[in-house]
Amino acid sequence: MYHAGVIHLRVPGTLRYRDLAVRVVGSACKLVGATDMDTGPFRINSDWDNQVVSAFGEAFNNAAIHSYSAASKPGDVEIEVDTGPTYITIRLLDFGSSFDPDAVPSPDLDTLPESGLGLFIIRSFMDEVTYAPGSPNVLSMTKHLSPHNRPPQKPRDLKHDNGGGSSRQ
């Protein structure tokens, strides 16, 4: 269903389109906190924007590298970006293999890991993260501008309904 104010983007689920998608999300961050008649506050490279862009980039990597590398055929990634006055919600849908986010261990940063950091970055930088295996698989991420708008901290934010599959980073 079409929702006014939500940005829709559909690109092939390959790394070639990663930069394009990241740029769209980076620009959408500028709309958060703006009025309907405004293009957004003058906020360049703020930590908030950097964190959203970082998390989304990892989510796109996971879809392109893991969901579709294990699938029998390539597919698209659908991205929905909802920018509100105090938050951004990004939904990333893919039609490839599912995975179990709870099966992905947190990295031991003391050992200077070279991989397995993607989900950690997503979980760390976003306030609310959910994953529902599909098809499509739906990763939803929300970040609030103000800490006051964040929901109470849960033991584990990334939840899933069922499923399993290829390992993720």
Partner 1 sequence: MNYSRKDSGDATILRITGSLDALSTPDLRPTIDELVAEKRPMITVDLSELRLIDSSGVGAIVSLYKRMRAVGCKVEVTGLKDQPLAIFRLLRLDRVFPV
Name the minimum Å distance from CB 152 to partner 1: 22
Which residue ranges make up the site for partner 1 (CB under 8 A)?
A: 15-16, 18-19, 22, 45, 47, 50-51, 53-54, 57-58, 61, 64-65, 109, 112-115, 117-118, 121, 124-125, 169
* Among 159, 134, 3, residue whose Cα is nearest residue 77: 134
Residue 31 or 55 having the CB closest to partner 1: 55
Min separation Cβ 65 and partner 1, Å:
6
DSSP-assigned states of every residue in 83-143? E-SSEEEEEEEE-S----GGGSPPP-GGG--SSS-HHHHHHHH-SEEEEE-SSSEEEEEEE
Q: Considering beta carbons, is residue 8 or 43 the nearer one to partner 1?
A: 43
- Whether residue 90 contacts residue 161, with contact meaning beta carbons closer than 8 Å, is answered with no
Rounded to the nearest whole angstrom, what is the least distance from the CB of residue 47 to partner 1 in the complex? 6
Is the CB of 116 or the CB of 135 nearer to partner 1?
A: 116
